[in-house]
Structure 1
Amino acid sequence: MNGFAFYASAYLACAVLAVFVSRRLGLGSVVGYIAAGALIGPVLHMADADAGYLEPLSELGIVMMLFLIGLEIDPKKVWKLRGMLVGLGGFQVVLTIAAVTIVAVLLNVPWRQAVLFGCIGALSSTAIVLQTLEERGVLESDGGQASFAVLLFQDIAVIPMLACLPLIAVNHGAAVEGHGANLLSSLPGWLATIATLGAVGAVVGGGHYLSRPVMRAIARDGLRDIFTAFALLVVIAIALLMSAVGLSPALGAFLGGVVLANSEFKHELQSDVEPFKGLLLGLFFVTIGAKIDPMVLQSNWAIVIGATIALVAVKVAVLLPLGRLFGLREDASWMLALALAQAGEFGFVLLSLGQQMSLLDPVGASTGVLVITLGMIITPGLFVLLDRVLAGLELTKPIAKNVGEPDSGAVIVAGLGRFGQIVNRMLLANGYTPVILDYRADVVDDLRKFGVRSFFGDAGRTDLLQSAGIAKADLLVVAIDDPDRTVEIVQRARAANPRITIVARAYDRLHHYRLASAGADHIVRELFGSSVEAAGLALQTLGMHPYEVEKRKSAFVQQDLAGLARMASLVDDAKHIADNDRFVAGFNDIGRVIQEAMLGRRAGYDEIVRRGWNPPKLDDSHAPNHESREPGASR
């Protein structure tokens, strides 16, 4: 068997296995795709044989990625982050390019290659960094927002990099011809310029005035499959047009995405193009990995490791002072510097283009791929290093140096997002003035303008809790949306003040049990109340009397919360919830009465309802009974 089907099957099989293992190890999908390609190259010797089949197809993944990046540009968010975006992001890209280029030239690297390496080094892995920041719950922090702004600028900066790279190519004429400029080669210069500008105008005007009516007509007729086909046609047609006039297809796709970013079909386009982008982009990374020569790694391993360490050092040296210059605190600056210290996915694109333009030989390209890949692999280690650095800063720096010293208060609220804001407003409306702790400096600044006592800081820090008056406080409300961090805050608050009452926000039923074990008195599942309210509205819409609805809501809440407390002893942290037979059996038993009602046999359910609408008691409804607050007491 040979041909397209054989090569595609081999690539996809290796990719599925390698990406699965890579994700399990926490290294991300890109590293898995590169590993799959590296496996295919030396084992199946397909690195060159399949180029005519898969490489042109895989390059569409880059075009689609730029199209989606353009779609995701939110003008309001860009305007809000304009200072960080243009200032911090711009300085980071320019200074990193300059620093890497200078270091490379001093090491006797030809200046053209040095500039290429500088452009590659200035970029970071958007996918890995944003995913890690989101998993850690710090994407909305100062350091997280600064990282997002710099990553966004880097993604945008790829466009001029792709456009300018042919200008430094050795075979500049051949590179331009490869992009399709031969269609304009017979025209005078001024006419070719007009045609090029006309192509850009066609992308902008067509995206705004032509594609929208077509998509509106397709959507009106409910032709979902045709909408998907049209979305792909838009991306491919833009790429073809840009190639025809000698411009980068990625540039055209990015412009098309920006034009359609405010369209009412933005989300539909994203959902339709995303699966194709993921598959083709993964295929692109596989083809990159397939070009790695094992002999290059064997003979140049010291260079690969040294270059990776040097790149991390240069980027940290650039980003750390820039963060301080743009008003970030020391902890946020370290987060910015270490999070963005690796090279990114677009580096592979620049390496591929550089090899096509003879800026790099195969050995140089393979070495560059290995350096970028190694940087992605060590990114989890850089975040571990970040934790060590932040822990050191916490021990050595007094909190009053970074934030105001909060007054002791009877009530402390940790986190002022959507959940905490409602709690705070209710407390203020009833005459209580809580001390607010939040790790987002912009939120704290805005709240102070409204006269709300708010202070910057991580409520998981024992010193901040002490400064906020945890030892004398009567109540702590933990309203953050990070389940693990919530448990840590409850544990530390309970240790600091065994008598304080703690109200905590729970993510789900299992998180409820963890918080109960940590020492929370009252636990509120974040979506439970609103879901019950929505169900009540549904029953009213179906014709049930409002009073009857309230009675049934009350009965449902009482039964669910009583069952929640009774099942606490069945939780086994060593087993997955679905594999815990006792927990599954208990859950089904508790739901029996409601299940009977759903099946139409409502005798037991109606008997509960007839008892009347008695609001559940707080002590019985939101927490297990705490018989003792002494250490070691059962919860």
Structure 2
Amino acid sequence: MSATAVLTLLAATVLLVPLFKRLGLGSLLGYLIAGIAVGPYGLHVDSQPQAVLHTAELGVTLLMFLIGLELKPTRLWALRRQVFGLGLLQMAGVALPVAALALLAGLALPGAALVGVALAMSSTAYVLPLLAERRELTTRQGREAFAILLFQDVSVIPILALLSVVGGAGRAPGWAALAALGLLAVAGRPVLATMFRYVTRFGRGNRELFAAAALLGAVGIAVALNAVGLSASLGAFLAGVLLADSEFRHELEAAIEPFESLLLGLFFIAVGMGIPLALLAAHPLLIGGLGAGIVLLKAFSLYAVRRATGGEPAVARSLAVLLACGGEFAFVLFAAARGSLLAPETADLLTAAVALSLALAPLAVIAHDRLLLPWARSREAPPFSPIDEPGRPVVIAGFGRVGQVVGRMLNARGVPFTALDASAEQVDFVRRFGNTIYYGDASRLPLLRAAGVEAARLFVLAVDDVEASVKIAELLRRHFPEVAVLARARNRTHMMRLRELGIQQVMRETWGSSVDMGKHALQLVEPALDVEAFATVFTQHDLRLLDRQQAVYHDQAALIALSRQAGAELEDILQNDARLRLRAAQVQAQEQAPAAELD
């Protein structure tokens, strides 16, 4: 690959990938489009995408190594039902109908089975970063999606092994391969652990050297197993499994992940370069129908499987949309089966269809979030709770991690309150512990009147969502101006927006704990410092700064300039305070000196 080609490739990547992420279409689609732009059907800066793909497959190898590192026995046991239950059901629920359709289309049984399994795969490289970006990795659908993807990734190993047998004229792995696997199982972990201890001990914290050792371990085993007829991905996966419980696991993940992300991006660029646009132009309806069919069939199959196993509609719907796309391992399987189980034309058609399904996946997520999700929530959401109790002296809107603490303290003093929350799940959870809470949206005026806000002495605004919090504050100031409001602010900007509406009692949710943590930090590094006095000066300065920022916070340039100026002012205040304390101590010492001499 020429220097000009590399430069053009980097320019296309830097230009397109952030743009697609900004548009909410995901980085994966940006990589595919960048590959198309510089490939033989675009700018034609490089006419050999297979050479790029061969190098970029190292990204898939490193991905398998990281997946192996995740397979700690304890974690796998905790997820066993989702991984081996839900994962197997999802694989079968998609692979069987797809294989049946492939048989009807004229493929032989081995080829049809391969197509079914390959199209059942979803993209780990697309779904997991998307879940992390949406902060859904720890949600129900996030955990289940991870379990299904883990099952799919692990299943690639036996699939590749079977493919080497079936696609290789029935040749089973030889004695050299079996011996290599046995040697790896017995000596792999001790040898790798010894190498990493050596690097850690004599490398003196050299992170680049540790990264080189991590690459040597992952790629070395992959190359060794590939030399005896086994898959390189299998070798990398086994290397990760061997080190999953080692003390080097986290360091290995940190060292390998940047290379894996870069090479996996290059892998998708190479896939984009290899998409046969001429074939797409020749058969647009066929490939378009196949790509859309993959997304729709996988979505409907997974939704049906999850609902049949007792999943809630919202979780099943989210899983169906997230995992509806094709996966990177489909490209690997189709390339391995090309010319043996699949005719080259068929492999090209399926590759183009999977790439198109990846391009459609971000659009499906956007359509789900903006169209289907609001409609489904309006149909699935239970009706708001009727409030039939008399007005209480305190109303709490938002009964999450902040509102519950306020409520517990009021309960401890016997102060009655009415609690409201707009999350049906949160209401159900709180009610399990015997608490009285009403499901309702506090940004609706009828609900506030039903809760008796006009007769309340205090309204505690503890809603987590910033926009909902501001909307409720506007309603309170307009319709209940006499009611005192104590509001929670997520950050400084939220606090200034509430204060602009006339809400004066606003507490930043992390301010007090952050100041306490800073005091502890200073006490540990500067034991002689009077941290209480320092914290008092720091807090007073911040409150004065907040008042000044309030006046200009709509002007971003003025706000930035004021913040920079405030840092220098705080330094001057602290220095002057230190000089005054020193002078006071000197005066006190001078006043006490004659008395000491007299004694």
Q: TM-score range by the shorter chain?
A: 0.7 to 0.9
Please say if 1:588 is aligned against 2:564.
Answer: yes
Give the root-mean-square deviation of aligned CA atoms: 4.0
Q: Deviations over 1:470-504 (max 9, x none)?
A: 56585445464xxxx44235525864885584533
d(CA) in 1 for partners of 2:59, 2:262: 7
Contact 1:101–1:118 at 8 Å: present in 2 too?
A: yes
Q: Is 1:470–1:493's contact at 8 Å kept on the other side of the alignment?
A: no
SS at match of 2:245: coil
CA contact (8 A) 1:86 1:153 kept: yes
> What amino acid is aligned across from residue 374 of structure 1 in structure 2?
L
- Aligned equivalents of 2:160, 2:571: Cα separation in 1: 61
Deviation of 1:588 after TM superposition, in Å, equals 3.0
SS of equivalent residue, structure 2 residue 336: helix
Q: Against the structure 1 CA distance between its residues 271 and 84, is the aligned structure 2 distance closer, same or farther, given a 3 Å change threshold?
A: same
Q: State the percentage of identical aligned residues.
A: 31
Aligned counterpart, 1:270: 253
- CA shift, 1:118, in A, is 1.6
Paired residue for 1:233?
Answer: 216
Contact between 2:381 and 2:424, CA under 8 Å: does it hold in 1?
no
Asked whether the equivalents of residues 147 and 340 of structure 1 are also in contact (C-alpha less than 8 Å), the reply is yes
**Match of 1:15?**
13
Match of 2:353 among 371, 390, 394: 371
Q: Return the offset for 1:526.
A: 4.6
* 1:487/1:518 contact within 8 Å kept: no
Contact 1:172–1:357 (Cα < 8 Å) also in 2: no
Q: Which of 314, 317, 326 is the equivalent residue of 1:334?
A: 317
Aligned to 2:468: 488
Q: Give the equivalent residue in structure 2 for 1:617.
A: none
Question: In 2, distance between residues paired with 1:32 and 1:233?
Answer: 30
Q: CA deviation at 1:560?
A: 1.0
Structure-2 residue corresponding to 1:196: 177
> What per-residue deviation string (whole Å, max 9, x for no partner) do you get for residues 338-363 of structure 1?
222211222222232232645241x4
Aligned counterparts of 1:462 and 1:323: Cα–Cα separation in 2: 34
CA distance in 2, matches of 1:45, 1:112: 36
Equivalenced residue count is 569
The 1:248–1:81 alpha-carbon spacing in structure 2 relative to 1, beyond 3 Å, is: same
Cα distance in structure 2, aligned partners of 1:48 and 1:358: 27
Which residue in 1 is equivalent to 2:304?
A: 321
Alignment correspondent of 2:592: none
Match of residue 215, structure 1, among 196, 211, 214? 196
- 1:552 aligned residue (534, 554, 571): 534
Residue deviations 1:551-580 (CA, integer Å, cap 9, x gap): 3212212321332243133233xx8xxxx3
Pick aligned residue for 2:154 from 153, 156, 181: 156
CA distance in 2, matches of 1:552, 1:560: 12
Give CA deviations for 1:409-450 in whole Å, capped at 9, x if unaligned.
Answer: 855474646x67766665665557885859696x8888777x
Is the CA contact (8 Å cut-off) linking 1:46 and 1:290 kept in structure 2? no
Query: What is the Cα deviation at residue 126 of structure 1?
Result: 2.7
CA distance in structure 2 between the partners assigned to 1:226 and 1:380 by the alignment:
38
| Whole-Å separation in 2 of the counterparts to 1:519 and 1:100 | 61
Deviation at 1:290, TM superposition (A): 1.9
Is the CA contact 2:397–2:462 (under 8 Å) kept in the aligned structure 1? yes
Match of 1:301 in 2: 284
The alpha-carbon deviation at position 136 of structure 1 amounts to 3.5
Aligned residue for 1:453, secondary structure, equals: coil
Distance 1:255 1:454 in 2: 52
Alignment pair present for 1:61 and 2:59: yes
SS at match of 1:31: helix
1:127 to 125, 143, 157: 125
Q: Name the structure 1 match of 2:90.
A: 92
Residues 69-115 of structure 1: CA distance to partner in whole angstroms, max 9, x if unpaired?
12234555444433222222220111100111122333344444432
Partner of 2:488: 504
Check conservation: 2:32, 2:272, Cα contact below 8 A: yes
Per-residue CA deviations over 1:486-524 (Å, capped at 9, x if unaligned) read 423552586488558453341x43344456568876554
Q: Deviations over 1:108-153 (max 9, x none)?
A: 4444443233223212233333333343344433333333332232
Q: Give the deviation of 1:231 after TM superposition.
A: 0.8
User: What is the alpha-carbon distance in structure 2 between the residues aligned to residue 542 and residue 494 of structure 1?
Assistant: 45
Q: Indicate the SS of the match to 1:378.
A: helix
Deviation at 1:302, TM superposition (A): 0.9
Query: How far off is 1:296 after superposition?
Result: 0.8
2:551 matched residue in structure 1: 569
Taking the aligned partners of 1:241 and 1:444, their CA distance within structure 2 comes to: 56
Structure 1 contact 123–343 (Cα < 8 Å) conserved = yes
Measured at CA, do residues 398 and 293 of structure 1 come closer, stay the same or move farther in structure 2, by a change above 3 Å?
A: closer
**What is the CA–CA distance in structure 2 between the aligned matches of 1:29 and 1:565, rounded to whole Å?**
41
Is the contact made by 2:443 and 2:475 (CA closer than 8 Å) also made in structure 1? no
For 1:26, the aligned partner's letter is G
Cross-structure match for 1:249: 232
**1:601, distance to aligned residue in structure 2 (A):** 4.7
1:540 and 1:124, CA in 2 relative to 1: closer, same or farther beyond 3 A?
same
Q: Is the 8 A contact 2:396 2:460 kept in 1?
A: yes
Distance 1:394 1:229, change over 3 A: closer
Displacement of 1:242: 1.6
8 Å contact from structure 1 (residues 435, 453) kept in 2: no
Q: Which runs of 5+ in 2 are unaligned?
A: 586-599
Name the CA shift for 1:567/1:137 in 2 (closer, same or farther; >3 Å).
same
Change in CA separation of 1:486 and 1:529 when aligned onto 2, cut-off 3 Å: same
How far apart in 2 are the matches of 1:131 and 1:359?
Answer: 32
CA drift at 1:65: 0.8
Q: Select the residue among 435, 439, 444 that pairs with 1:453.
A: 435
2:140 corresponding residue in structure 1: 142
Instruction: Please report how far the alpha carbon of residue 66 of structure 1 lies from its aligned counterpart in structure 2 after TM superposition.
Output: 0.5
1:47 touches 1:287 (CA, 8 Å); kept in 2?
A: no
Distance 1:299 1:461 in 2: 57
Q: What are the equivalent positions in structure 2 for 1:538-549 lying under 5 Å apart?
A: 538-543=521-526, 548-549=530-531
Mapped contact 2:443–2:471 kept (Cα < 8 A):
no
SS at match of 1:503: strand
CA distance in 1, matches of 2:352, 2:236: 28
Equivalent residues in 2 for 1:278-289, closer than 5 Å: 278-289=261-272
Sort the Cα spacing of 1:461 and 1:444 in 2 relative to 1 into closer, same or farther, 3 A: closer
Distance 1:535 1:373, change over 3 A: same
The structure-2 alpha-carbon separation of the partners of 1:552 and 1:203, relative to structure 1 and needing over 3 Å to count, comes to same
Higher deviation after alignment, 254-263 or 489-498: 489-498
Matched with 2:596 is: none
Give, in whole Å, the separation in 1 of the partners of 2:125 and 2:497: 31
Q: Secondary structure at the match of 1:240?
A: helix
Shift of residue 326 of structure 1? 3.1
